[in-house]
Structure 1
Amino acid sequence: MKPTPPVALLALIAMASPLALNAFVPAMPDAAAALDADIATIQLTFTFYLLTLAIGQLITGPLADYFGRRQVLLTGLGLHTVGSLFAASADGVDMLIVGRVLQALGGSTCMALVRAIILDVHGRQGAAGRMGYVVMAIAIAQAIAPTIGGYLNLWSGWNSIFYLSVFMGALVWLLALRMLPETSNVRSDSLHLRGILERYRDVLGSRQYLGYVLSTTAVAAAFYLFVGSSPYIVTDQLGGNSAQFGSWFLIVSLAFMAGSFLSTRLAQAFSVDQMILSGNLISLLGAALLMGLSVLHQLSFAGLFLPMALLIFGRGLSQPNAQSAAINSSDSSAGTASGLMGFIQLVTGAAIAQLVPVLLEHNTTLIFGCILVAPIIALLAHFSAWHRRHDRTA
């Protein structure tokens, strides 16, 4: 019988990286002013974080398949903590970016390996429901991080936000050292580049896998567009501050948490594909409302955050199911499939994050139009994957 790590521990591990990513978001305009940097430059702290998470997950999968989950995860958590301390002591934008890169490189192990550990222990049948708890934990981190970060920035300055990640990283590392067993009994026999590329080629050979990945990535892209642009919309167009952003963003994150929790409750009553379809349709409705309010020039705090909360509620329903379905669609190792999925999602997010300053130079309606397109792409990609899955099981 495989050792079973507590789901609560896995949820706490999963929270470390999104907490670090999102706590700094409301402070970015103030950090730009304090460090004498423009929006495009300070945006690199967000873009490089996402890009490093993407590359890290691509590397983490094969490393964990070769060395085991526990060793790689503990190393990553330690690196995340060191990077957080480095960012906290930054006195220039270059040093801040380096700290964020180190922070993300360590955090990538958390994002990739928690999913793989769940599949190691609970198998494909039991993974979807428990994956929902992990996504809900991420939602909690996303819910509290911007609020805490916004107030810390207002009270103590933007540097103080990173000490939160230092504490969180150190705590999770100690708990994992004590409580996390090795869960992988089957190890990869090679770390050669050729072998790694062959495993990724095998994963990418599944069109069903790609369909589910594109579906969850498209909805995630809508979130990245929003989180990259909304701090500046709040500050420049709505006359708000970082604390107001954090408080209103709490609604969006709580909606994600509610959707993720509901996903775990409905996992036994509905199929994975029914849950994905329902979530994507709700996300489309939220995006359409946001676009409509922008066109009618009715943008306000409520008009900005409430439609996005509906979109993210739909994401909470669809994401754990789409991720589980994607990994299950691959005949390759779970670590490789999970890492590649994270890579695809986060490279997309990094590209979008750096595109946001360009879109902001035009108007917010253009950003909201891109957000509207995202769930449409998600629906089309899911229909393709669902059709292939049905043909495969027929």
Structure 2
Amino acid sequence: MKPNPPVALLTLIAMASPLALNAFVPAMPDAAAALDADIATIQLTFTCYLLTLAIGQLITGPLADYFGRRPVLLAGLGLHTLGSLLAASADGVEMLIAGRVLQALGGSTCMALARTIILDVHGREGAAGRMGYVVMAIAIAQAIAPTIGGFLNLWTGWNSIFYMSVFMGALVWLVALRMLPETSRARSDSLHLGGILKRYGEVLGSGQYLGYVLSTTAIAAAFYLFVGSSPYIVTDQLGGNSAVFGSWFLTVSLAFMAGSFLSTRLAKLFSVDQMVLCGNLLSLLGAALLLGLSLLNALSLAGLFLPMALVIFGRGLSQPNAQSAAISSSDSSAGTASGLMGFIQLLTGAVIAQLVPMLLDYGTTLVFCCILAAPVVALLAHYNAWRRRHDNAAQ
């Protein structure tokens, strides 16, 4: 009988890392004051987490292909919980950063392997709908984490945020230990560096894989551009503040959840490629509206956030399908393919975060032009992947 882990368990596993990443953000100023650190230093707790998350997914894939999904995931959850405990008990910023790095290293297995396990069990077409639940869970975690972290920090101090992660990590580890079966049907026979590099080369040699990964990464880049620039646009141009930004940003988070949920409902009616195309076209429409309002000097809070909500609604439709299509392009190295995809997306996000201030120096219109370019790139990349898939099927 084919192993069939509950999708609910996989969504909980996928939520652990984004919840830990974002819950600490509102408490960073208080943590800096408590640990006698400056803002630049405490910012490393976020930057190091993101970079470790990216690098960790490169490591996770080959390990999961060699040892299997279950032992690597259980080890990752344990490492995430240990890192949370270290951060919670930190009496200095160095210890806090070390805890965050361990959190991220363990969390990288959760994000990469939740996708891989779904594909192991349900195959390419069956995974698309269920992948939507994982994407939606990540969206929910990203949306509610700052609120939860803010209140915990206010009520019981910044350390309590990490104790929450300790509790969640330990609980999910215990449930996974009892309910998560091994799902890998084909194991890699090598863990040597040469073998790992060979598998990465094989994955990157797939035109289908690169097309789908570039498609979903381009739409993610639009989101990173918006997140990096919109707080300054709200404050400096639209007369708002952080509370106004947080309230309006909920429209973007809710749009992502709605798109991800709808993708699970429509997976039985439309093919993977039809869903990716539909999502990318909606993202293109939203980005065009955003740029148009900027060019007409008609930008407002609604004009900023609602078009972007349409962009991200499209992302919710396209991302689960593009991710499942990318991973399934490499039948023998699904873990490697999933980890590499996560690395590419997170590294892109880190690079964009550094570029946004420079783009803003040239005006918001340039930022919106880049956001518009993202779905154009996504459409072209998806067309290339779709064409290659049909050519391979015809051979």
Please give the TM-score of this superposition, normalised by the length of structure 1.
0.90
DSSP 3-state at the match of 2:3: coil
Distance 1:294 1:90 in 2: 46
Indicate the residue corresponding to 1:207 in structure 2: 207
1:122 aligns with 2:115: no
Distance 2:165 2:295 in 1: 39
Closer, same or farther in 2 for the Cα pair 1:221/1:27, shift >3 Å? farther
Distance 1:392 1:32 in 2: 55
Closer, same or farther in 2 for the Cα pair 1:150/1:357, shift >3 Å? farther
Closer, same or farther in 2 for the Cα pair 1:374/1:156, shift >3 Å? farther
Deviations 1:127-156 (A, max 9, x none): 112112211222221222233334445555
Indicate the residue corresponding to 1:373 in structure 2: 373
Closer, same or farther in 2 for the Cα pair 1:30/1:82, shift >3 Å? same
Indicate the residue corresponding to 1:184 in structure 2: 184
Closer, same or farther in 2 for the Cα pair 1:127/1:80, shift >3 Å? same
Indicate the residue corresponding to 1:167 in structure 2: 167
Letter in 2 for 1:387: R
Give the conservation status (yes or no) of the 8 Å contact 2:119–2:328: no
Cα displacement (A) at 1:188: 1.7
Closer, same or farther in 2 for the Cα pair 1:200/1:308, shift >3 Å? same
Closer, same or farther in 2 for the Cα pair 1:349/1:188, shift >3 Å? same
Listed as ranges, the matches of 1:248-259 within 5 Å are: 248-259=248-259
Give the conservation status (yes or no) of the 8 Å contact 1:80–1:102: yes
> Cα RMSD over matched residues?
2.6
Listed as ranges, the matches of 1:359-370 within 5 Å are: 359-361=359-361, 363-370=363-370
DSSP 3-state at the match of 1:194: helix
Listed as ranges, the matches of 1:31-50 within 5 Å are: 37-38=38-39, 43-50=43-50
Distance 1:89 1:65 in 2: 34
Give the conservation status (yes or no) of the 8 Å contact 2:125–2:272: no
Give the conservation status (yes or no) of the 8 Å contact 2:186–2:332: no
Letter in 2 for 1:168: M
Q: Which runs of 5+ in 1 are unaligned?
A: none
Cα displacement (A) at 1:113: 0.7
Indicate the residue corresponding to 1:55 in structure 2: 55
Aligned residues: 392
Q: Which runs of 5+ in 2 are unaligned?
A: none
Distance 2:10 2:284 in 1: 31
Distance 2:191 2:27 in 1: 40
Give the conservation status (yes or no) of the 8 Å contact 1:225–1:371: yes
Q: Which moved more, 1:124-133 or 1:293-302?
A: 293-302
Letter in 2 for 1:111: M
Cα displacement (A) at 1:28: 5.5
Letter in 2 for 1:386: W
Indicate the residue corresponding to 1:82 in structure 2: 82
Give the conservation status (yes or no) of the 8 Å contact 1:146–1:249: no
Indicate the residue corresponding to 1:354 in structure 2: 354
Cα displacement (A) at 1:295: 4.2
Give the conservation status (yes or no) of the 8 Å contact 2:203–2:209: yes
Cα displacement (A) at 1:343: 1.3
Cα displacement (A) at 1:212: 0.5
Indicate the residue corresponding to 2:318 in structure 1: 318
Indicate the residue corresponding to 1:330 in structure 2: 330
